[in-house]
Structure 1
Amino acid sequence: MKRDISIIDLPGEQKMIIACDSSGGIGPKSGDKVVVPGEVVGRLGVRVALMELLAVRATPLSVVNTLSVEYEPTGKKIIAGIKDELEQLNLDADKVLNGSTEENILTSETGVGITVVGVVSEEDLKLANSRAGDIIAAVGLPKVGEEVIADKDEIANLETMQQILTLDYIYDILPVGSKGVRYEAKLLAEMNSLNLNLINSDVDIDKSAGPATVLLATLPENRLEDLKQNISKPINLVGKLYSIS
């Protein structure tokens, strides 16, 4: 089990962090199974990769979109959605965004790939900072397909991530995607060389969380109510970490 990021050593005690995401059959084309505007596809696609970087406290430097659609009109709208999401982080799309579209073959389904590259110092990198006795809270609810649009107030987003990053009692953050809460909670425990006790809640821990609609956060048990006060998203206790005997 490993996180959905690549970590590459750089000179000067820096780390390069690379994250990516892809989607297919979701968009405005005639063959798409889930029909949504191109702007939505772009926003959600880049959000996943950005949240993977932010979760380990990396700063995004470059965003690359590889779109299996024509630029006009579909690709242009997807790119507009990507730019909207980048603006939330005050990133200049003219400087950090690059990519390619399909101009040779007519496509009937939307296909999107997005890669984000960033850097973080070894000192600031946060991968495994949890301790025995910490709890795992799920911020947001698992949503996939059309639910992501219909239930947007119940999902984690970049604003949620930015809010969590300001809280000094949060140790590890892990976005949840298609593998579900159970898988990612086990990964959190494994990364910290701890065991996991899953706790029953209103969260379907085996359901796909689509485009990272859930963020797992570890924190001291006595700070759970503080988290609920600080974040205006559904928050559920889903696990507790304990020492391997």
Structure 2
Amino acid sequence: MSYKGRDVEVVQINNKESLVIACDSCGGIGKKERDVVKASPYIVGETTTRVALMELLAVNAIPKSITLTIASEPYPTGDEIIKGAKEELEASGYKNLPMAISTEKNIPTCQTALGITLIGLCNNASLRICTSKAEDEVYCLGRPLVGNEVLNVQASELITPKDIKALSSMEGIHDIIPVGSKGILGEIELLCKSNDYTFISEAEVSIDMNKSAGPSTCLIFTASKEVDLSSLRLKPLKIGKLTF
């Protein structure tokens, strides 16, 4: 049972629970010679962990374990990536999450690369997949940013796992989908395909819906018309609705 193109896989283990696996990768971002975007390894670990964690939380899974596959030397790059990952987990309420780590100890590298996998558990009845309904309104939270743009904004402008937790706690919120390199429209197309709906866009939308959102700097969600969204930390932007 997959999320039809998303970076999440669901494996039912019994009648009550499923394993949920989320992953993300990051390459060419760091402080090495051939890195295209110059950023600290700490930020690489922090943001890549955030992406996989948000994918997991978006479907209502509870994180149980994380792996870090670091294609760089243990020190200093590896240590800084691990520190960023651990502090992102702690900030999101998962301080003592079991962690498996591999670094490159045999070959010198000139470019930073990282793979993150998060494994969680979810009650089958609570799994938030294909839960949208006809006439749901579609919103964007945050805005799509990529590359150096991510480094040039305040951290408070980026969505976080806490934002997903806040959405998940609200009645009338249905699908929650962190946006990645497919862009907002790409994610909406997958959403409609999974739910067998059609998306009708607002006449004017103030964000680029084709642009990559890099390390999931925004998300889309579907909601019933009567939902009060005023308590959210960031102001959501209505971008359309679903219909048959």
Within 1, Cα distance between the matches of 2:13 and 2:125? Answer: 13
Match of 2:30 among 12, 27, 33: 27
Within 2, Cα distance between the matches of 1:3 and 1:33? Answer: 26
TM-score by length of 1: 0.93
TM-score by length of 2: 0.93
SS in 2 for 1:172: strand
Quote the offset at 1:155 in angstroms: 2.1
Quote the offset at 1:148 in angstroms: 1.1
Quote the offset at 1:2 in angstroms: 2.5
More displaced 10-residue stretch of structure 1: 187-196 or 211-220: 187-196
Residues paired across the two proteins, number: 239
Q: Percent identity?
A: 38
Amino acid at match of 2:7: D
Query: Partner of 1:167 in structure 2?
Result: 170
Query: Partner of 1:123 in structure 2?
Result: 125
Task: Indicate whether 1:66 and 2:69 are aligned.
Answer: yes
Match of 2:149 among 144, 147, 171: 147
Within 2, Cα distance between the matches of 1:115 and 1:238? Answer: 31
Query: Partner of 1:233 in structure 2?
Result: 234
How big is the alpha-carbon RMSD for the aligned residues of Structure 1 and Structure 2?
1.4
| Structure 1 contact 67–101 (Cα < 8 Å) conserved | yes
Query: Partner of 1:101 in structure 2?
Result: 103
Within 1, Cα distance between the matches of 2:161 and 2:238? Answer: 21
| Structure 1 contact 58–125 (Cα < 8 Å) conserved | yes
Match of 2:220 among 216, 220, 233: 216
Within 2, Cα distance between the matches of 1:6 and 1:144? Answer: 25
Structure 2 unpaired stretches of 5+: none
Query: Partner of 2:79 in structure 1?
Result: 76
Deviations 1:80-136 (A, max 9, x none): 00000111232244x511110001111111000000011101111110111111111
Match of 1:193 among 181, 191, 196: 196
More displaced 10-residue stretch of structure 1: 64-73 or 185-194: 185-194
Within 2, Cα distance between the matches of 1:71 and 1:168? Answer: 45
Quote the offset at 1:56 in angstroms: 0.5
SS in 2 for 1:239: strand
Within 2, Cα distance between the matches of 1:158 and 1:171? Answer: 17
| Structure 1 contact 141–234 (Cα < 8 Å) conserved | no
Match of 2:137 among 132, 135, 138: 135
Quote the offset at 1:12 in angstroms: 4.1
Match of 1:177 among 176, 180, 184: 180
| Structure 2 contact 15–124 (Cα < 8 Å) conserved | no
Quote the offset at 1:14 in angstroms: 1.0
Match of 1:156 among 149, 159, 163: 159
Quote the offset at 1:60 in angstroms: 0.7
Within 2, Cα distance between the matches of 1:86 and 1:118? Answer: 14
Within 2, Cα distance between the matches of 1:150 and 1:134? Answer: 34
Within 1, Cα distance between the matches of 2:235 and 2:146? Answer: 16
Amino acid at match of 1:207: K
| Structure 2 contact 7–24 (Cα < 8 Å) conserved | no
Quote the offset at 1:36 in angstroms: 0.9
Amino acid at match of 1:198: S
Amino acid at match of 1:180: G
Within 2, Cα distance between the matches of 1:71 and 1:208? Answer: 31
More displaced 10-residue stretch of structure 1: 159-168 or 127-136: 159-168
